[in-house]
Structure 1
């Protein structure tokens, strides 16, 4: 654009110099003696330079219009690209939302499975404890003898061994014999 403006300015200056040169070569150099001659000089320069300057202005306006058209086309392309980018972003957002929903569902299912697993572990733990207590009860029952009075001695001996007491008298409560 700057080159075109420089060329047009140079062309306008050359046209003005040609008009002045032509005027001087035909009429000479000097001041006009009456006002009518001044009007003729003005008409000469206006008639020669005005069409030239108008043509150069028209060229500049046409060039400006072409530049505006190119800029408008580029803007339209940028708008189209922006619209496509927005559409792609919307599609990506929809996919992300679907994936997020699926993830939420999977986490909910996982939570439910973990709750079920925790309840099963609690039941298993209770059952294990219960069966260990039954096993201990059965072992204690198998060590108890009925009838000959030795069961009392066995129980006291077991208590003494496990509690590490020295004698029966170290206990706070002594059993009553019947």
Structure 2
């Protein structure tokens, strides 16, 4: 609309100037000669046609510019909507996986995990424990075994023993596998997803026993690209070793992961 108005004003102004100049030079008396009228038409046409053509061209350029700007806005809007949809889809799956993980922990029962012989070896008065409490019980059994390491080599050896004998020593491969699956899902997300945020959210969702289980597993799979991803985003930055002052463990872990708080 603006370009059309400008072009119209230019054409009207040009016509007024042309008529004014003609009247000044040739007067206001109409000529009876056809040749004079032909020259009059050539005068107006020769000057106005280029002006009108230029205005039309400029108006076309302005229209194209407006359309291009609107197209860019539409494209950005569609891209924003696509990113929003992608984030919503990611979050929906992410929180569904967290729910599955939490439900599997709630349903966990110590009697279902340990064999009868292993339960007797626990020497606990209460063995019918469920959920996080049961997980903490068997994780503490593993941790007590691991934290007695006398060297870094012995530390890794004890971790491997736990992983190879989960019923006896309390590592839960299936539960840890679910946690790694969520981490892998975050890793495979597009770059517009804030991976650091969702890894922190996952870490905060896990109890300390779960973090320790994941940490011990990571220490045996350091060449795995997924572990490199965990190292890059500092997944274990808030982990603590409960009741452990073993410098062997602290130094061994710090070599692989940037852990700020160890107790």
> What TM-score, normalized by structure 2, do the two folds share?
0.36
Partner residue, 2:59: 60
3-state secondary structure, aligned to 1:7: helix
Partner residue, 2:93: 94
Structure 1 residue 84 displacement after superposition: 0.7
Partner residue, 2:83: 84
Say if 1:35 and 1:107 are closer, same or farther in 2 by CA, change over 3 A.
farther
Say if 1:26 and 1:102 are closer, same or farther in 2 by CA, change over 3 A.
same
CA shift digits 1:43-77 (9 cap, x unpaired): 11110111111112222112112212221221221
Structure with the larger helix share? 1
CA RMSD across the alignment: 3.0
Structure 1 residue 19 displacement after superposition: 0.7
Task: Select the structure of larger CA radius of gyration.
Answer: 1
CA shift digits 1:101-126 (9 cap, x unpaired): 4566578779xx9xxxxxxxxxxxxx
Higher relative CO (Cα under 8 Å, sequence separation at least 6) belongs to 2
Q: In the comparison of the two structures, how many residue pairs are matched? A: 112
Partner residue, 1:17: 16
Partner residue, 1:44: 43
| Unmatched tracts of structure 2, length 5 or more | 113-263
CA shift digits 1:132-178 (9 cap, x unpaired): xxxxxxxxxxxxxxxxxxxxxxxxxxxxxxxxxxxxxxxxxxxxxxx
Structure 1 residue 99 displacement after superposition: 4.1
Distance (whole Å) between structure 1 residues aligned to residue 10 and residue 60 of structure 2: 16
Distance (whole Å) between structure 2 residues aligned to residue 41 and residue 17 of structure 1: 15
Distance (whole Å) between structure 1 residues aligned to residue 33 and residue 104 of structure 2: 102
Show the 5 A alignment for 1:26-41: 26-41=25-40
